[in-house]
Amino acid sequence: MKTPPIVSPQEWEAARLELLVKEKTHTRARDALAAERRRMPWMAVERDYTFEGPSGTVSLLDMFEGRRQLIVYRAFFEPGVHGWPEHACRGCSLGADQVGHLAHLNARDTTLAYVSRAPQPDITRLKARMGWSMPWYTLTDSFDTDFGVDEWHGHNVFFRDGERVVRTYFINNRGDEAMGTVWSYLDLTALGRQEVWEDSPEGYPQTPTYKWWNWHDSYAPDTAPDPRWVAVSEAGEAAFRAASAGAKV
């Protein structure tokens, strides 16, 4: 293996700063792409889809769990898939292992759900074995075919306006690799991260950056941010701004 040269700390830092310029350009491009995604047209979901959950039959609307946004990942766990019945698809399983704590997504009015063709008893058994906690439903109709995930994995993103459901985005193939963090999921959604720095259409919900963050067991609806955390986050923002200003000089 031909490795890079070994250099001094000063040379290493210079190389890092040179690359950092490109990394920041990449970050800004990713933010701009997410802003463009928030302005995509929406597709009406015209038919009623039915799924089986742990407590019985549910609709696509039910899967929102009362929230405005829903991300549905089509995982392959069913007869005919390598690993059945002990395991789901290896790639889907690796993705499931990456999923962060769902409370943070839920705090942004967003639900994540998995769907497969396996019966509920098998899904329950698999989740317990693998330590997964996301809602996971059984497909019963043509939902997977209609939304491009009958033969391959993918994330479909939906928005609920009362009883009306629309499809806002879809990502699959290598786009699925990066999924799992609260940020990767929110950047796919119509509302985004819902923070004030984002370039979002007029009237979209936005709250001060960092202020909504909380411990995953401490979120409570309609509560003001903890004033101690507000002070900490504002001090952090001030430090970031000062550091950035110094770097530009």
Grouping H, G, I as helix, E, B as strand and the rest as coil, residue 140 is coil
Domain assignment of residue 36, yes or no: no
Is beta strand 56-59 parallel, antiparallel or unpaired with respect to 50-53? antiparallel
pLDDT for the residue 241: 83
Q: At which residue do the structure tokens 């995930």 appear?
A: 149
Within a domain: 20 = no
Q: Are residues 103 and 224 in the same domain?
A: no
* Residue 143 domain flag: yes
- The residue segments making up the domain with residue 215 are 208-249
**Residues 56, 160 within the same domain:** yes
Position 249 scores a pLDDT of 40
Residue 248: the pLDDT is: 58
Structure confidence at residue 105 (pLDDT): 98
Do 221 and 124 lie in one domain? The reply is: no
Write down the pTM of the prediction.
Answer: 0.95
Q: Can you list the residues of the chain whose pLDDT is less than 70?
A: 247-249
* 240 and 150, same domain (yes or no): no
Residues 147, 224, single domain; the answer is no
Residue 31 is assigned to a structural domain of this protein: no
Instruction: Tell me whether residue 11 is in a domain.
Output: no
Task: Identify the CATH number of the domain in which residue 92 sits.
Answer: 3.40.30.10
Asked if residue 35 belongs to a domain, the reply is no
Whether residues 142 and 74 share a domain: the answer is yes
| Same domain membership, residue 97 and residue 47 | yes
Kindly give, in sequence order, each residue whose CB lies less than 8 Å from that of residue 70, ignoring residues fewer than 6 positions away. Answer: 60, 63, 64, 110, 111, 112, 113, 157, 158, 159, 160
Q: Do 64 and 168 fall into the same domain?
A: yes
The total number of structural domains that make up the chain? 2
In a domain, 168, yes or no: yes
The domain boundary, picked from 186, 219, 239, lies at 186
Q: Residue 247 has what pLDDT?
A: 66
Q: Is residue 192 part of a domain?
A: no
